[in-house]
């Protein structure tokens, strides 16, 4: 299990060029193997990427982070018990990519050009704050700023010179920097007017014997400049000559034609005129195009439909310029024109901005020089909806828990639901080596988890899950490896979902509910605590097997703070902290005091409240009242500082003061002084005259400053004394400090003491001791403070220096003695003992293993004797393995080497042994094995009849010990000598 508490959102953000350091504590028994992956692919080490793994921590380091380092990083922990993965998303922060081009020249004029572009594909981890647009005269190399704060993806560049060729570039900017520029093509600043398009087909009405009126619609395309007017021409049926009808430019879209000959047939044509030049269009002609083919849908989504149709069989004798596409919702009568940025010139078009699940009908018309042709047949109703299919397989299917008779499964929803709602899931299983899959659930499972029960204890099962929608059952996803029915013990874990919040803000009087889902085996117990103070009486804790909540009703500012839920079972514990902020009036200010008191005025100072009620404090309200009255009166205006000078006080009259803070929620609780204050010139008496210490001939006194100094600086304090039973006070000294030692007193006598404060106006009233003080040295048993030494244990490496430093106390000062076990220690070249009035220490240089053990500190005075013990553990390399080394099972090629563990393991476990061999006649040792865990090793590959000597060294985490050597042996079979004797006898 890995600890992701340092990454509460499961992600880490890093600036480009910086280094990222991901450190995840983990635990598990047996120790799990560690695997890092990026975007579900194994991650390899390189000069940029480094891994580091210790016994309880896995670290991923990436130097000089680049854009390609962004992604999902997965830490997979695997041991015999389970395999778990933990995900962290690395988000790189830097300048955005350059805007998506090309830069479009939407409107080109002589003095200005409208350009547009698309947003960058990569925002660089932050929102686009603005765009920078620059322009350049192509005859020069310098770029000039057009605007540095463009908020949209289009901009009109003004102040251009007619006829000059320009180039533009655009940069995107976020809070991390500016992108690379996107360059436009070169363009000349000039008017781009074109002839206007043809007017709409006219309607003839109001026909008389010598005239008629025609009416038309404005052209769809004005040529880039406003339409100035229209011209109308007429032609008799059998004539080829066109005659202009109007003498002046027609401003309207209708015209009355007179002086016609009764009984003749006429053709008319109308053309529009702009700043460019007029374009003649015949509008009354029998040669309009035929109807195109019926529109048919080729691609349908939830908000768009792509249509295609066939061209008209006849274009009417002139080329078709464009098509007009119309739509209407089903069950409505009127068609509406589909608005497009450019005329539709192809026999296909994608209609966008449709309402999902709405049915539409379409028709199309062709337009040529003669006008708009006949509409096509109306298409069949087409519904704007996403295409439907079966869902894909769930992304992940895993085993979340198991018992001796059940296995719990969890999975994630399919990435593609086929365009329809997921109805549920089907779970199938197969036992052991069986082949046939069996369905587990009779009804569809609507959740993404399921517990399969009634399984055989200790058996292995495979499971797979498939999603089902209205189309059918999708592909299945199988668990990575077979699961076994065994009881699992797991540490408490917190399930965090989208609704989980660690910070809760609530208004005063409202309620808040802190809830957490958890799991673990056995079921953890949940305990709620507040970091500072007890839980409110209005709080209620509710805990079930997998959920615990803390509800607080009628919240007040006192409920603000951190709340921690501790989950604990026999396998471990887990803590999660919530923060509650109650929006309330502020708490009372802290420590209201007087900075200055004069005749008729008082200056108050205070510390802001610890609890500001969750909102900024606007000001403070200071109030006063005379001690003899009950009515409070506000002093001055609303104060925004932490002090206020209050004037116009009556001299000699005692006043009470109180201070309260105010925020947007109202005035908070006031801090009221318990003692009245009198605006006078003399200082008040010192506070708390205490006896700090006594000896056989002196008394040490201490006190606090007066409540107020009377309006002038305290010059000094006068100390007086009198023997017990007398009335005469004697001045024994004065000081500017708050402590004083009265000396030359008689041992065993009792004295009364008092202290007065003095300023320019005079002396304050005296502050006396509560009882007579006996002049005598106190007897206090010696003591030592070992709280700075954790568990009274000090660990150090062999060869280093360790120091035991202990605060001590006692009256009179105790005698100090140090011992190691039963041996008394003294100062030597290696051992240094120091003793002061309140501390003692012992330092040992170049520590050896023999310096480890129990150190006893003995303190002794007349009040008693006490001994304190501190244990020192000196770690280092182990001693040599214990001999002798035994060689057994000797053959001509091998033998078995046996030895015993070292007597001293160096204070830590032996990690391995190192075995070496040396042939006779050679001084070089050859390594056989450096990672032997046991105290024996089978040595092979020996040379027959060669003499060998072996040596063994032990190793722990602090180093390698000295070696222990064996006796010399000969690599030969044990029966070789007998064979030689028999051979001699035969001769």
- CA dihedral in degrees (646, 651, 657, 663; nearest 10)? -20
Element (H, E) at 797: strand 793-797
- Neighbour-count burial of 934, counting CB atoms closer than 10 A to its CB (0-12 exposed, 13-18 middle, 19+ buried): exposed
Could you tell me if residue 935 is inside a domain?
no
Q: Mapped to the 3 state alphabet, what secondary structure does 664-730 carry? A: CCEEEEEEECCCCEECCCCCCCCEEEEEEEECCCCEEEEEECCCCCCCCCCCEEEEEEEECCCCCCE
Statement to judge: residues 322 and 366 lie in one domain: yes
| Span 929-946, average pLDDT | 92
Report the candidate in 62, 52, 64, 63 with the shortest Cα–Cα distance to residue 26.
Answer: 52
- Domain boundary residue, one of 382, 411, 435: 382
The predicted pLDDT at position 979 comes to: 43
Task: With cut-offs at 50, 70 and 90, classify the pLDDT of residue 280.
Answer: very low
Residue 720 has pLDDT above 90, yes or no: yes
Position 983 pLDDT exceeds 70: no
* Domain-located, residue 919: no
Token digits for 856?
A: 């006893």
| 375-423 confidence digits (pLDDT tens) | 999 998 888 887 777 889 998 899 988 888 999 999 999 988 877 788 8
Per-residue pLDDT, 982: 41
Q: Considering the chain, what is the average pLDDT of its residues?
A: 87
Residue 226 has pLDDT above 50, yes or no: yes
Give the C-alpha separation, 327 to 341, whole Å: 17
- Token output for 204: 């003839």
Name the pairing type of β-strands 503-507 and 572-583.
parallel
Decide which of 848, 873, 898 is a domain's last residue. 873
In this structure, the answer to whether residues 692 and 729 fall within a common structural domain is yes
Q: Write down the pLDDT at residue 283.
A: 41
What's residue 975's pLDDT?
A: 63
CA 867, CA 817: separation in Å to the nearest integer? 9
The mean per-residue pLDDT over the stretch 499-518 comes to 85
Confidence at 498, pLDDT banded by 50, 70, 90: low
State the pLDDT at residue 955: 94
User: Last residue of a domain, which of 628, 649, 676?
Assistant: 676
In a domain, 644, yes or no: yes
Residues 6+ apart with CB under 8 A from 494: 516, 517, 518, 567, 574, 576
> pLDDT tens digit string along 661-691?
998 888 888 888 888 877 666 788 998 899 9
Assess whether 349 and 397 both reside in one domain: no
With respect to residue 954, please indicate whether it lies within any of the assigned structural domains. no
- Domains contained in the chain, number: 9
| Helix-strand-coil split of the chain, %, nearest 5 | 0, 50, 50
The encoded tokens of residue 953 equal 């060294």
Phi and psi angles of residue 916, each rounded to the nearest 5 degrees, phi first: -130, 160
Q: Are the CB atoms for 642 and 608 separated by under 8 Å?
A: yes
Average pLDDT over residues 119-129: 87
Cα–Cα nearest to 504, from 612, 584, 585, 582: 582
pLDDT tens, position by position, 723-737? 998 989 999 999 999
List phi, psi (to 5°) of 983.
-65, -40
Residue 712: its pLDDT value, please? 63
Return the pLDDT at 891.
Answer: 93
Kindly indicate the confidence band of residue 711, based on its pLDDT and cuts at 50, 70 and 90: low
Query: What is the pLDDT at residue 24?
Result: 85
Is residue 767 domain-shared with residue 795, that is, in the same domain?
no
Same domain, 750 and 785: no
pLDDT at 220: 82
Q: Which residue has the higher pLDDT, 264 or 923?
A: 923
Instruction: Kindly report the length of the chain.
Output: 987
Range of the domain at 553: 488-581
Residues 868 and 785 in one domain: yes
Query: Is 868 in the same domain as 804?
Result: yes
Quote the percentage of the chain above a pLDDT of 70.
95
pLDDT digits (tens, 9 = 90+) for 828-860: 999 999 999 889 999 999 888 888 899 999 999
CA separation, residue 390 to residues 259, 300, 557 (Å): 73, 17, 54
Tell me, yes or no, whether 473 and 525 share the same domain.
Answer: no
Look up residue 151 and give its two tokens. 């908020």
DSSP string, 71-112: EEEEEEEE-SS-EEEEEEEEEEE-PPPPPEEEEEEEEE-SS-
- Asked whether residue 434 falls in the same domain as residue 492, the answer is no
**pLDDT tens figures, 627-650:** 888 889 888 788 888 888 888 888
Model confidence at 289: pLDDT above 50: yes
C-alpha pair distances (Å), 58 with each of 13, 21, 609: 19, 11, 43
Q: pLDDT band at 429, cuts 50/70/90?
A: very high
Residues 47 and 66 in one domain: yes
User: What mean pLDDT is predicted for residues 566-590?
Assistant: 88
Do 494 and 479 reside in the same domain of the chain?
Answer: no
In this structure, the answer to whether residues 689 and 671 fall within a common structural domain is: no
| Residue 953 resides in a domain | no
What CATH number did the domain enclosing 525 receive? 2.60.40.10
Report yes or no on 892 lying in a domain.
no
In a domain, 27, yes or no: yes
Residue 984: inside a domain, yes or no? no
473: pLDDT strictly greater than 50: yes
Whole-Å CA distances, 606 to 592, 610, 644, 710, 812: 4, 12, 9, 19, 43
Q: Which residues contact 379 (CB under 8 A, 6 or more apart)?
A: 294, 295, 296, 297, 307, 361, 362, 363
Confidence of residue 70 (pLDDT cuts 50, 70, 90): confident
**Residue 812: which pLDDT band, with cuts at 50, 70 and 90?**
confident
Contact of 527 with 568, CB cutoff 8 Å: yes
């Amino acid at each position: 299990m890995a600890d992701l508490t340092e990454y509460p959102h499961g992600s880490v953000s890093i600036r480009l060029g910086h280094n990222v350091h991901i450190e995840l504590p983990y635990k598990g028994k047996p120790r799990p193997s560690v695997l890092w992956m990026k975007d579900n692919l194994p991650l390899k080490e390189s000069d940029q990427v480094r891994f580091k793994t210790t016994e309880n921590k896995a670290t991923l380091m990436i130097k000089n982070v680049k854009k390609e380092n962004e992604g999902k990083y997965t830490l997979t922990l695997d041991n015999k018990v389970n395999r778990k993965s933990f995900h962290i998303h690395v988000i790189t922060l830097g300048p955005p990519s350059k805007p998506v081009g090309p830069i479009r020249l939407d409107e080109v004029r002589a003095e200005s050009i409208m350009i547009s572009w698309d947003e960058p594909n990569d925002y660089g981890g932050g929102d686009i704050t603005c765009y920078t647009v620059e322009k350049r005269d192509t005859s020069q190399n310098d770029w000039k700023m057009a605007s540095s704060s463009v908020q949209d993806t289009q901009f009109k560049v003004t102040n251009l010179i007619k006829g000059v060729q320009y180039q533009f570039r655009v940069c995107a900017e976020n809070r991390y920097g500016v992108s690379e520029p996107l360059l436009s093509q070169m363009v000349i600043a000039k008017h781009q007017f074109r002839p206007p398009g043809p007017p709409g087909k006219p309607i003839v009405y109001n026909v008389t014997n010598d005239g008629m009126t025609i009416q038309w619609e404005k052209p769809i395309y004005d040529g880039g400049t406003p339409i100035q007017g229209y011209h109308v021409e007429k032609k008799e049926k059998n004539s080829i000559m066109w005659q202009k009808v109007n003498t002046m430019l027609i401003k309207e879209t209708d015209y009355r034609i007179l002086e016609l000959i009764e009984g003749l047939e006429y053709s008319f044509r109308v053309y529009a005129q702009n700043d460019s030049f007029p374009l003649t269009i015949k509008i009354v002609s029998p040669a309009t195009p035929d109807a195109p083919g019926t529109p048919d849908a080729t691609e349908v989504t939830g908000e768009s439909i792509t249509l295609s149709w066939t061209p008209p069989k006849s274009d009417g004798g002139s080329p078709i310029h464009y098509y007009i596409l119309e739509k209407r919702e089903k069950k409505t009568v009127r068609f509406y024109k589909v608005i497009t940025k450019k005329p539709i010139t192809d026999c296909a078009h994608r209609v966008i901005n449709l309402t999902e699940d709405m049915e539409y009908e379409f028709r199309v018309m062709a337009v040529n020089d003669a006008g708009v042709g006949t509409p096509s047949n109306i298409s069949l109703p087409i519904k704007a909806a996403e295409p439907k299919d079966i869902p894909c397989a769930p992304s992940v299917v895993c085993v979340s828990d198991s018992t001796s008779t059940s296995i719990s499964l969890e999975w994630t929803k399919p990435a593609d639901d086929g365009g329809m709602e997921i109805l549920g899931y089907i779970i199938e299983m197969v036992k052991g080596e069986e082949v046939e899959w069996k369905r587990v659930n009779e009804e569809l499972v609507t959740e993404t988890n399921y517990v399969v029960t009634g399984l055989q204890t200790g058996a292995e099962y495979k499971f797979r899950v498939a999603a089902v929608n209205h189309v059918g059952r999708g592909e299945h996803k199988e668990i990575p490896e077979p699961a076994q029915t065994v009881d699992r013990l797991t540490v408490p874990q917190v399930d965090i979902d989208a609704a989980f919040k660690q910070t809760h803000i609530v208004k005063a009087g409202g309620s808040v509910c802190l809830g957490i889902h958890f799991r673990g085996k056995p079921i953890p117990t949940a305990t709620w605590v507040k970091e500072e103070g007890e839980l409110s009486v209005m709080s209620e804790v509710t805990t079930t097997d997998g959920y615990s909540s803390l509800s607080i009703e009628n919240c007040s500012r006192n409920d603000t703070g951190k709340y921690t839920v501790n989950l604990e079972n026999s396998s471990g514990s887990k803590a999660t902290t919530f923060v509650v902020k109650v929006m309330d009036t502020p708490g009372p200010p802290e420590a209201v005091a007087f900075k200055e008191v004069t005749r008729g005025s008082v200056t108050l100072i205070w510390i802001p409240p610890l609890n500001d009620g969750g909102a900024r404090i606007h000001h403070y309200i200071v109030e006063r009242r005379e001690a003899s009255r009950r009515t409070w009166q506000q002093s001055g205006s609303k104060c925004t500082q932490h002090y206020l000078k209050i004037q116009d006080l009556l001299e000699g009259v005692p006043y009470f003061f109180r201070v309260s803070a105010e925020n947007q929620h109202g005035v908070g609780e006031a801090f009221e002084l318990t003692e009245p204050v009198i605006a006078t010139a003399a200082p008040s008496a010192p506070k708390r005259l205490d006896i700090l210490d006594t000896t056989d001939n002196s008394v040490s006194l201490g006190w606090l400053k007066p409540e107020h100094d009377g309006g002038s600086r305290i010059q000094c304090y006068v100390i007086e004394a009198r023997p017990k039973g007398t009335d005469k006070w004697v001045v024994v000294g004065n000081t500017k400090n708050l402590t004083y030692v009265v000396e030359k007193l008689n041992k065993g006598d009792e004295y009364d003491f008092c202290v007065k404060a003095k300023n320019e106006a005079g002396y304050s009233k005296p502050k006396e001791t509560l009882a007579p003080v006996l002049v005598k040295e106190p007897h206090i048993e010696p003591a030592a403070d070992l709280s700075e030494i954790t568990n009274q244990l000090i660990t150090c490496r062999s060869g280093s220096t360790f120091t035991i430093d202990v605060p001590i106390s006692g009256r009179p000062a105790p005698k100090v003695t140090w011992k190691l076990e039963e041996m008394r220690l003294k100062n030597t070249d290696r051992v240094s003992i120091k003793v002061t009035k309140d501390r003692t220490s012992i330092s040992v240089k170049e520590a050896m293993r023999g310096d480890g053990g129990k150190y006893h500190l003995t303190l002794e005075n007349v009040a008693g004797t006490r001994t304190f013990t501190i244990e020192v553990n000196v770690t280092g390399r182990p001693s040599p393995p214990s001999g002798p080394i035994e060689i057994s099972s000797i053959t001509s090629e091998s033998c078995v080497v046996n030895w015993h563990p070292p007597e001293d393991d160096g204070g830590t476990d032996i990690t391995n042994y190192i075995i070496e061999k040396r042939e006779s006649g050679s001084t070089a040792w050859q390594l056989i094995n450096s990672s032997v865990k046991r105290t024996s090793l089978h040595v092979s590959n020996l040379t027959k009849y060669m003499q060998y000597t072996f040596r063994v060294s032990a190793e722990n985490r602090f180093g390698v010990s000295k070696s222990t050597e064996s006796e010399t042996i000969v690599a030969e079979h044990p029966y070789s000598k007998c064979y030689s004797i028999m051979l001699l006898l035969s001769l």
